[in-house]
Amino acid sequence: MTAAMTISLTVNGQTHALEIEPQETLLHVLRARLGLTGTKANCEEGECGACTVLLDGQPVNSCLLLAVRAEGSRIQTIEGVAEDGQLTPLQEAFAAEGAIQCGYCTPGFLLTTAALLSANPHPTDEEITHALSGNICRCTGYTKIVKAVRQAAAKGVQA
Amino acid sequence: MTQEKVIGQRKPRQDVLAKSTGAFVYGMDFQIPGQLYGAILRSPHPHALIRSVDASRAQALAGVEAVLTAKDLPAGLLMPGVVCDQPLLASDRARYHGEPIAAVAAQSPDLAQQALGLIVVDYQPLPAIIDAETATADESLLVHEAWETYQAEEGLVRWRNVCCHAALNKGDVERGFASADEIIEGTYTTESVHQSHLEPRVATAVVLPGEVPTVYSNTQLLYWIRTNVAHVLGVPEEQVRIVPTGIGGAFGSKLYPQIEPLTALLSRVAGKAVRMVVPLSDELLAGVPRHPTKTRLKTAVMRDGTLVAQQATMYLDGGAYTGSTPEIASVAVLCLAGPYRTPNVHIDVYGVLTNKTNFGAYRGPGGPYSVFALETHLDEVAARIGMDPLDLRLKNILGEGDEAANGQILTSVGLRETVERATQAIGWREAAATNRGKGISLGWWTTTLQRSTSEALLDANGKVVIRVGTNEMGTGAIMGGVRQVAAETMGLDVDDVLIDVEDTLSGLWDWGSQGSRTLANVGRAAQFACQDLRLKILSLAEKLLETERERLDLAGGEVFSIDNPEEKITLKALAQLSPEGILRSRAESNAEPATYDKSRLTSCLYPAFHHPSYHCHVAEVEVDPGTGMTRVLRYVAAHDIGRAINPTLIEGQIEGGVVQGIGMALMEEVLYDKQGFRTNINWTDYKLPTLADMPEIESIIVEHPTNLGPYGSKGLGESPALHPPAAVANAIGAATGKRFRSLPITPEKIALA
């Protein structure tokens, strides 16, 4: 057993002091220690994108990032997206366009898209494809996800 | 014109809010305080004798609370099935790379892994049986030396490594071959592809003395899991509780009891809750992916395009155990026959045992490889006689009232309309640019029947609750489709209907979320329950409003007098005035299966397609002649689904199935080396389609209503995955002038052709 260490993580605007083991990934800390299970787990080697969170506004695979490396950064998870229980226009677009089936990839897609639109509010189809190609969806065939992103962009949504 | 208010509308599904905020609880998010963590030791050999298993050091490790090997199980325990040939843990012989040998439960996942490493197994490796066709030979080594002793379903034709020989014989193929202008032959091969659901397989078992044995599972088929758990625990099925947890994709994979029985036994031994997750590497190593196949086709045709005779022989590689291969073999028979009027047909499908993982149901089992063989072969037939592939099909397809090869008479046939609309949308007759080509594939598919049960009740707030016995797996069939059916029947909007998925103690028996059956059958049961509940509501209102029931109607959450709409009562008021408390109705759907000509089929466990759906896909591709890279530029898919309950959900099924099919066509491949070892067990080496690989898909909904599903709907979920391999292969054929008869059609194969 490795020695525990104490870190401070800022997740969805809240700062947590956490005692963790040095090899714990951010994904593990979010799910197991903070109970934020909206961040999804599967491949744990950066292939599927289900565990995507935003680190200082940039999408990262939380399964590949040691939690200790996230100290001092702003971490946003899917739980921190809706405000006061109100869906953001982007979440609404995903729901309305049928971009959500089983939904296991949805948190990752929503966060990746939010980062894209905040950097580039009116992306071309090529830019959308480039930004979202690191996230796997096995249900939708991507068509409705792209339509939802386009719809959100057309409405001038930034996150 | 129909008067429906909810049917046909793009209504939101019940689960979409929780799924967009991260609040939705999947199996992976479900935990029990104090739970142990299960893990499985798997065979590192494709085929080996097991001389001994010594788990004593694992047993002794602090923090390990249960260890199971074959000798801890009842002697001779074999799992239920069409052929009972599969042990829960391998005892004297390991038959595939990844077969479970032992299982442990420990206080942490790391400890469980450490314990697995302490189990010593003495293997004597044996040569592996890899090729399905040669495994059918009498001199082949046997995967199961005791094959003759296994209990098997009556009527199943099987011998040695052949676990099922399904056959169809119509007319006289030899006479057809003798009389035709041209005879075309070809051999087609396909590789296994994996469901690759985003959420892992996970189960949590609580089997404690004096309590109802309970397993939480993200399965598609609660009642089959119950059968298997009860079997290993040695208790009656009715006393086992399987609780549904949220499903993050399944596609057939989560029909199978891969972990629930073992997890239940571990929990019983440990006396604590045990949670078992299958890591992705194990899932890709030893899941239940699609069957690999090899098919020989021989077709006789007249110069005018009339198909005269067709002979097909398929070797369907079933892997190490029989599993669902026999049923899938007979589905392959029907797909190889296709929706064509060929007068003489002979089809043999051999389900063959080999030293590979047990292949099984992946979206449209029996379908995509059969359709790939038949539909690409038909393009070769068309080329031989100088006919447009579309015209060859239009000349031979079945229509209303026609008889399919198995003798079933077809009604509500929208096939021709799907062909015409899909080909028109893509501009089939327009010439393609250099290095581009168009391809077509069409077919038919079943709506699986069997029993579904549902209960509708009016709660105290005047809302309707629909209780069902099978879970939403992502398609929206239950949380979208069934909800809309119930809302329509009850005269409510979807917001006033709540779907509640129940565990197996509810008695709401259901054949599950599978087989393109969910909306048609679960929806039908819910509709029946709602119709009865509606009558109960009107009977109560009759007394309260003092108006004859025949002169009352129910809409917008109110019962009102047809003659005087001011005379009305809300469902909420009515619910509270009900003298018998909550009004509830339970109903069942168990529709009549399709009839067929029994004399034409042998050993077919799935002998007819019930209330068939019809579909046509067309693809346009561009092939880079230098690199062999294929890009799918356009893809149009037309589906006759009887009646559209929710177009958004239908398009979602079509688009998703097409992309899985394009994956099978161009990149996905479960690889075994020549010794039978699995080699690509991660999503870097097993390639899944990403957004960058995909065109935007155009869905066309065709409606020829049938009298099965609510409001005329037929099954949909599987059929979109049937056609992309054939449509894309035919398009590549048109673009390159070369035929590709083995999947996946990788850039390497094209560049070397």
**What average pLDDT score do residues B580-598 get?**
96
Interval B375-399 mean pLDDT:
98
Residue A95, pLDDT > 50, answer: yes
Q: What is the mean pLDDT of residues A41-70?
A: 97
- Distance (Å, rounded) from C-alpha B640 to C-alpha B252? 22
What are the chain B neighbours of A28 within 8 Å (beta carbons)? none
Query: Residue B547: its pLDDT value, please?
Result: 93
Cβ separation of B26 and A77 shorter than 8 Å?
no
Helix (H) or strand (E) holding A69: none
Residues of A whose CB is below 8 A from B252: none
Q: What is the pTM of this model?
A: 0.97
DSSP B280-335: HHHHHHHS--PPPEEEEEEEEE-TTS-EEEEEEEEEEEEESS-TTHHHHHHHHHHH
Which residue of B14, B19, B247, B693 to mutate against A (max A Cβ within 10 Å)?
B19
Q: What angle do CA B558, B562, B567 make, to 5 degrees?
A: 55
pLDDT (tens digit, 9 = 90+) per residue, B671-701?
999 999 999 999 999 999 999 999 989 999 9
Q: Which tens digits make up the pLDDT trace of B18-36?
A: 999 999 999 999 999 999 9
**Between chains, do A38 and B684 touch, taking CB under 8 Å as contact?**
no
Report the pLDDT averaged over residues B205-214.
98
Whether B28 and A40 lie within 8 Å, measured CB to CB: yes
pLDDT of A140 above 90: yes
Distance from CA of A131 to the nearest CA of B (A): 10
Q: Do A102 and B198 touch (CB under 8 A)?
A: yes
Most A CBs within 10 A among B14, B19, B20, hence the mutation to make, goes to B20
Instruction: Note the pLDDT of residue B82.
Output: 98
* Among the listed residues B416, B486, B474, the one whose alpha carbon sits nearest the alpha carbon of residue B444: B416
- Interface touch B29/A100, C-beta < 8 Å: no
User: Does B198 sit within 8 Å of A110, measured CB to CB?
Assistant: no
Phi, psi of B467 (to 5 degrees): -100, 130
- Longest alpha-carbon distance in chain A: 52
Query: Which DSSP string do the residues of B121-155 spell out, in sequence order?
Result: EEEEE------HHHHTSTTSPPS-TTGGGS-B-TT
Residue A3: pLDDT above 90? no
A121 CA: distance to closest CA in chain B (Å): 20
B694 closest CB neighbour out of A77, A97, A142 = A142
Name which of B22, B649, B660 is nearest A78 (Cβ-Cβ). B22
What integer is the mean pLDDT of A91-98?
97
Instruction: List CB contacts (< 8 A) between A43 and chain B.
Output: 280, 682-683
Give mean pLDDT, residues A58-87.
95
Task: Collect all residues of chain B within an 8 Å Cβ-Cβ radius of residue A132.
Answer: 691
What does DSSP assign to residue B403?
B
Counting other chains too, the contacts that A52-55 makes at CB distance below 8 Å and 24 or more residues apart are: A52/A107, A52/A108, A52/A109, A52/A111, A52/A112, A52/A134, A52/A135, A53/A26, A53/A77, A53/A111, A54/A111, A54/A114, A54/A115
Which residue do the tokens 């298997």 mark?
A: B228
Position B96 confidence tier, pLDDT thresholds 50, 70, 90: very high
Mean pLDDT of chain B: 97
Contact B20 A110 (CB under 8 A): yes
Query: Is pLDDT at A116 greater than 50 in this prediction?
Result: yes
Domains and CATH numbers, chain B: 16-25+450-589 (3.30.365.10), 31-126+201-277 (3.90.1170.50), 293-448+595-752 (3.30.365.10)
Query: For a pLDDT cut of 90, what percent of chain B falls above it?
Result: 99
Of residues B19, B195, B649, nearest to A106 (C-beta): B19
Give the mean model confidence (pLDDT) for residues B1-17: 89
Antiparallel, parallel or unpaired: β B274-277 and B36-42? parallel
Question: Which pLDDT value is given to residue B1?
Answer: 39
Which pLDDT belongs to residue B432? Answer: 92
What are B312-328's pLDDT values in tens digits? 999 999 999 999 999 99
Please judge whether A87 and B658 are an interchain contact, meaning their C-beta atoms are less than 8 angstroms apart.
no
Neighbours of A111 (CB within 10 A): 28
Q: Is the pLDDT of residue B743 over 60?
A: yes
Q: Is the bond into B744 cis (omega within 30 degrees of 0)? A: yes
Cβ <8 Å between A134 and B690: yes
- CB-CB under 8 Å, B15 with A103: yes
Are the Cβ atoms of A40 and B655 closer than 8 angstroms? no
Task: Give the chain A residue whose CA is nearest to the CA of B18.
Answer: A103
pLDDT given for residue A2 in this prediction: 62
Name the residue facing B198 among A100, A136, A142 (closest C-beta): A136
The answer to whether B184 and B12 have CB atoms below 8 angstroms apart is no
The pLDDT of A99-103, averaged and rounded, is 98
C-alpha distances out from residue B302 to B175, B178, B385, B395, B711, Å: 14, 11, 8, 12, 42
- Nearby residues of B414 by Cβ (< 8 Å), 6 or more positions away: B614, B640, B702, B703, B704
Domain annotation for chain A: domains and CATH numbers: 5-80 (3.10.20.30), 89-154 (1.10.150.120)
Query: What is the model's pLDDT at position A84?
Result: 81
| pLDDT single digits (tens) B216-244 | 999 999 999 999 999 999 999 999 999 99
Residue from A143, A146, A147, A151 to probe the interface with B (highest B Cβ count within 10 Å) = A143
Q: Do B682 and A107 touch (CB under 8 A)?
A: no
Q: Distance (Å, rounded) from C-alpha B99 to C-alpha B88?
A: 9
Long-range pairs of B122-127 with CB within 8 A, sequence gap ≥ 24: B122/B50, B122/B51, B122/B52, B122/B53, B123/B43, B123/B44, B123/B45, B123/B48, B123/B49, B123/B50, B123/B51, B123/B94, B124/B48, B124/B49, B124/B51, B125/B45, B125/B47, B125/B48, B126/B45, B126/B47, B126/B48, B126/B49, B127/B47
Nearest CA distance, A62 vs chain B (angstrom): 15
Compare CB distances from A143 to B24, B28, B696 and report the shortest one's residue: B696
Query: CB neighbours of A32 closer than 8 A, spacing ≥ 6?
Result: none
The string of pLDDT tens digits covering residues B144-182 is: 999 999 999 999 999 999 999 999 999 999 999 999 999
What number is the ipTM of this complex? 0.97
Alpha helices in B647-690 (DSSP H): 647-666
Q: Are B651 and A98 in contact (CB < 8 Å)?
A: yes
**pLDDT score for A18:** 96
Q: Do the chains contact at A100 and B199, CB–CB below 8 Å?
A: no
Evaluate whether B275 touches B37 at the Cβ level (below 8 Å): yes
Judged by CB atoms closer than 8 Å, whether chains meet at A77 and B22 is answered as: yes
| Mean pLDDT confidence for B523-538 | 98
Residue B626: phi, psi to the nearest 5?
A: -80, -50
Residue B197 pLDDT more than 50? yes
Angle, helices B724-736/B368-384, rounded to nearest 10 degrees = 30
Q: Which chain A residues have a beta carbon less than 8 Å from that of B718?
A: none
- Radius of gyration of chain B from its Cα atoms, rounded to whole angstroms: 27
| C-beta separation of B561 from B550 below 8 A | no
Cβ contacts below 8 Å, chain A against chain B, sum to: 159
- pLDDT tens digits for B40-71? 999 999 999 999 999 999 999 999 999 999 99
- Give the pLDDT confidence score for residue A157 in this predicted structure: 66
Residue A159, pLDDT > 60, answer no
Contacts with B25 from chain A: Cβ below 8 Å: 37
Option in A91, A139, A140 nearest B20 (CB) = A91
Cα distance from B676 to chain A (closest Cα, Å)? 24
Nearest Cα residue in chain B from A49: B198
Q: Of the candidates B10, B198, B250, which has its C-beta nearest A42's C-beta?
A: B198
What whole-number percentage of chain B has pLDDT above 70? 100
- Work out the angle at residue A100's Cα, subtended by the Cα atoms of residues B241 and B557, and round it to the nearest 5 degrees: 75
pLDDT tier at B580, thresholds 50, 70, 90: confident
pLDDT class for B617, splitting at 50, 70, 90? very high
For B545-576, the pLDDT digits (tens) are 999 999 999 999 999 999 999 999 999 999 99
CA B299-B300-B301 angle, 5° bins: 115
**Strand ranges in B556-603 using DSSP code E only, listed in sequence order:** 558-561, 568-570, 583-589, 601-602
